[in-house]
Structure 1
Amino acid sequence: MSKKVYKGEEIEVYFDAEKCIHSGICVKGMPEVFDLKKRPWVNTVGASADKITAHIELVLVER
């Protein structure tokens, strides 16, 4: 299965296709960070590390 890490200076975002089944929530909720039209599609400098972490945690709770 697909697993990938997106490394930034302040944060590393891990994508695991088996666990990230609701990635659309990330794309809609933080388009400045998650943009499926760009490569790489995760922009670790699109928002602060704290905001990215909070959004991902929110998505995990909503699953």
Structure 2
Amino acid sequence: MDNSKEYSNGDITVVWKPKLCEHAGVCVKMLPKVYNPKERPWIKVENATTEELKNQISQCPSGALSYY
């Protein structure tokens, strides 16, 4: 069981795999309006465009974030 979570805006679905996450903070630094570890849910995909999300996810060093 990988415990992954999915967050969708209807156009893109962001997948987060907590077991892979290295907590590098790249997501929070790049899109602080989307990623806020202090809130639940901590990922709010509606606060960025699909292109912004794709660009940020490609920068994730651990591979914990992906999309479809």
Give, in whole Å, the separation in 2 of the partners of 1:10 and 1:60: 24
TM-score by length of 2: 0.73
Give, in whole Å, the separation in 1 of the partners of 2:45 and 2:60: 17
Q: Which has the higher contact order (CA 8 A, sep 6+)?
A: 2
Matched with 2:16 is 15
Q: CA deviation at 1:60?
A: 4.1
TM-score by length of 1: 0.77
8 Å Cα contact 2:24/2:61 also seen in 1: no
Q: Write the mapping of 1:25-36 to structure 2, written as runs, cut at 5 A.
A: 25-36=26-37
Structure number with the higher helix fraction is: 1
List gaps (5 residues or longer) in structure 2.
Answer: 63-68
Over aligned residues, Cα RMSD in angstroms? 1.9
List gaps (5 residues or longer) in structure 1.
Answer: none
User: What are the superposed Cα offsets for residues 4-54 of structure 1, whole Å, 9 maximum, x if unpaired?
Assistant: 111222211100123332451101221011011221111111110111111
Percent identity (aligned): 30
Q: State the 4+ residue runs in structure 1 displaced beyond 4 angstroms.
A: none
